[in-house]
Amino acid sequence: MATFVDRVVLHVTGGDGGNGAASIRREKFKPLAGPDGANGGRGGDVVLEVDPSTTTLLSYHHKPHQRALSGDFGKGDLRHGANGEDLVLSVPDGTVVADKSGAVLADMIGAGTRFVAARGGQGGLGNAALASPKRKAPGFALLGEPGEERSLVLELKSVADVALVGYPSAGKSSLIAAMSAARPKIADYPFTTLVPNLGVVQAGEHRFTMADVPGLIPGASSGKGLGLDFLRHIERCHVIVHVLDAAALESDRDPVGDLETIESELTAYAQRLDEETAERTPLMERPTVVVLNKTDLPDGSDMADLVREKLAERGVPVFEVSAISHKGLRELGFALGELVETAREELPALEPAPIVITPRSRDDKGFAVVTEQYDGANAFRVIGDKPQRWVRQTDFSNDEAVGFLADRLARLGVEEELYRAGAVAGSTVLIGPGQDAVVFDWEPTMVGGAELLGRRGTDRRLEDHHRPTREEKREDQRERVASRMQRIEAMEEERRAGHWADPTIDDQED
């Protein structure tokens, strides 16, 4: 079973917003006291957060779909719905978040760094919030918005100060085990290391992290072997350490040839990287150290004597070590610590990213109307954040809510734009992109006389503030009594005329 994963595709969905409530307050002596429907709660966000105790993306490999909690619906008596809790997902330090197209959205470095991967939907307004002097008793409420859905690519790039690179079985795992508390798997066959190992090295006052990359072979930069899958873990390092096997069993290999092969693979990989950020030195210009490993063996010692001068001509420090006998490890640790400290001092201080405010253009209507073919006929599609959001909030089973949507679209200028685009009564109009758009036959309200039918969401009973006087009440009572007596006299005349029989008297046969 896999224990380490450094690249996953994560599907995240924010929580849905709760629906608003449509309610009318009713109390004793206060009939129809007005709307009291409350708003729905907001859906929770999906948040990625760097956690130092998390070292792999394995959990999201097994559970790639993550969803935050939805908000609760509103209730009567102005009881607002509860907001949905945010879903916080822990990721390792050095995780890069990108979309499916490859565009980087966040580079998460440092404990506590957060990134909102998917936002929750807004809760719908209740009819109490929709009430106004022109709409005193709305008989509808707005629906909650669905949460944002996104598919993200998470890549882990280890935040290590020193990267160990080299051929398979060169002794990288043994070296990191001898210099730190890390205990990677060590065996006498190639490609023992299948995942990067990370260890912390303490050399006097110097403290740095060291990572070994699974064995590189010729063609690793183009996908051969395991190298390409894990070369991303050396992109953030300060120092590159070439671990060379001085006692290689293959007769066609020698430390100098291995070094040239690995450098060519790193150069090819560096050319495929994106442009380096200003605060980092290009990969091939970073400090390099050569380590001749296994020099405790006779063959290793003899090979070190043969290649020592050739390696020294390159102008890079060369250390002869043994991971088994710990020969030369102390000197190597101090040298790497000094190089790391120097590289850290040269890094510019991190500054917070400036806040960029982009005002909307004065000519921007917030929507657009495009003409397209739909079911073999011309149709008009309305695209824009506001119209699409309003459609999602509308309960189309409620005629008053549909009318409210029509009023909002008319105030936004959608009908005017449809006229300019050539739409007429009965034209097919779509609101929203793709197959999820709302489709309807357009009936314009601007010239159809709908404005003469009265305002939507009004109740004349709430507009009548007249209180009858005592005399008016008496007159109303006299009218009701007189009307009742007239009905009784009419019934008595019908009975005398034989139009209906008295049920208390038995019928007699002639």
Q: In whole angstroms, give the CA distance from residue 7 to residue 153.
A: 7
453 is in an annotated binding site: no
Q: Which residues contact 265 (CB under 8 A, 6 or more apart)?
A: 216, 218, 219, 220, 221, 227
Q: Is 171 annotated as a binding residue?
A: yes
Whether 110 has a binding-site annotation, put simply, is no
Alpha carbon distance 5, 60 (integer Å): 9
Query: Annotated binding residue at 195?
Result: yes
Residue 23 marked in a binding site: no
Q: Any known ligand binding at 395? A: no
User: How far is Cα 30 from Cα 25, in angstroms, rounded to an integer?
Assistant: 8
169 annotated ligand-binding residue: yes
**Was 413 annotated as part of a binding site?**
no
Please state, in angstroms and rounded to a whole number, the distance separating the CA atoms of residues 290 and 282.
Answer: 19
- Determine whether the annotation assigns residue 167 to a binding site: yes
Residue 439: CB atoms within 10 Å: 13
Amino acid at position 151, single letter: S
- Judge whether 112 and 50 are in contact, CB under 8 Å: yes
The answer to whether 398 is a known ligand-binding residue is no
Q: Is 324 annotated as a binding residue?
A: yes
How do strand 104-108 and strand 95-99 relate by DSSP bridges? antiparallel
296 is in an annotated binding site: yes
Judge whether 251 is annotated as a binding position: no
Q: Which residues contact 371 (CB under 8 A, 6 or more apart)?
A: 378, 379, 380, 381, 421, 422
Asked whether residue 365 is marked as a ligand-binding residue, the answer is no
CA–CA distances in Å: residue 505 to residues 359, 500, 502, 509: 90, 12, 6, 13
> Which residues are within 8 A (CB) of 323 and not within 5 positions of it... i.e. 6 or more apart?
171, 174, 175, 177, 178, 293, 294, 329
Confirm whether residue 101 is marked as ligand binding: no
Is 40 marked as a binding-site residue? Answer: no
Does residue 370 have a known ligand-binding role? no
> Is 337 part of any known ligand binding site?
no
Q: Is 428 annotated as a binding-site member?
A: no
The verdict on whether residue 281 carries a ligand-binding annotation is no
Q: With b meaning 16 or more CB within 10 Å and e meaning fewer, what string describes 38-77? A: bbbbbbbbbbbbbbeebbbbbebbeeeebbbbbbbbbbbe
- 301 a known binding residue? no
Kindly state the tokens that stand for 424.
């007429």
Provide the token pair at 151. 């598919």
- 95 a known binding residue? no
| Binding positions for GTP | 166-173, 191-195, 212-215, 293-296, 322-324
| Binding positions for Mg(2+) | 173, 193
| Binding positions | 166-173, 191-195, 212-215, 293-296, 322-324
